[in-house]
Amino acid sequence: MFFLTNDDGIYAAGIAHLAEAVEPLGAVFVVAPDRERSNISMAITIDRPLRAHQHGENRYAVDGTPVDCVDLAIGELLPETPALCLSGINMGQNLGHDVLFSGTIAAARKATFLGVPSIAFSMPWITGQRDKWHMDTAGDIVRNVVQETLRHGLPEGVLLNVNIPNVPAAEVRGVRIVRQDPAPYDSHVLTREDKWGAPYYWIGGKRLDAPNREQTDFGVVLDGYVSITPLHADLTHDETMEHLGAWDLRA
């Protein structure tokens, strides 16, 4: 059984395409937020109870976050431990630092914490054409990655971050195993005036260019490749551990 979730909400086209892609491979069980909950990473709801509304067989909408959905699905709603957790297909890229903000990645990460191997799928939007999606491109790629993951398995705590170019299938140039792009976004605050003359602010930023872009998720997806990046939750920086060893730190 495949457990499907996302952060765009149960009504998003991406999760319907994900379900369609893997239904030929096995039973699908969907537990997803009842509305879009993108960009909230691993937020959890512990100040109120959660409700799960059934939307047909093996399909639940939860009034919580993506990580809430994973907890509820694996801890309570699923009739068995799923073979895989599949998160997405996110309608928007999850490249480089995006993975730190993403609810799609967070859901997959949470499932690995509960011992379920996970894959997050995303497709970048096209600048200026936010309603244009080549979701049909994803089907064969999703099935292939899922089948290979079932065949080979994943190390404990490791999830796959898969980004599929938003182009017709014939234009996909191949698959690249690449690092997470290291470049942060710059900070850009758009300030405008509301109808009462008070300022409002819209945050966001542009991605800063990074060296070795041809070896990172961001770079290869720009070039028309599917990117696959194995991720884990350990954020420890090993080189700085050694550096700190030389400091005169006392308890």
Q: In the complex, which residues of this chain contact Mn ion (CB under 5 A)? A: 7-8, 38, 90
Of the pair 54, 126, the CB lying nearest Mn ion is at 126
Please state, in angstroms and rounded to a whole number, the distance separating the CA atoms of residues 115 and 136: 30
Q: Which is nearer to Mn ion, 25 or 100 (CB)?
A: 100
Q: What is the smallest separation between the CB atom of 235 and Mn ion, expressed in angstroms?
A: 22
Angle at Cα 76 formed by Cα 72 and Cα 81, nearest 5°? 100
Chain centroid, CA 146 distance in Å: 15
**Beta carbon nearer to Mn ion, 8 or 34:** 8
Both structure tokens of 83:
């073979």
Phi, psi of 98 (to 5 degrees): -55, -35
CB of 91 to Mn ion, least distance (A): 6
How far is residue 251's CA from residue 248's CA, in Å, rounded to a whole number?
10
Smallest gap from Cβ 35 to Mn ion, in A, equals: 11
CB count in 10 Å sphere of residue 202: 9
Nearest distance from C-beta of residue 123 to Mn ion, angstroms: 11
**Nearest approach, Cβ of residue 6 and Mn ion (Å):** 7
Nearer to Mn ion by C-beta: 8 or 71? 8
What one-character DSSP code corresponds to residue 167?
Answer: S
Cis peptide before 89 (omega within 30 of 0): yes
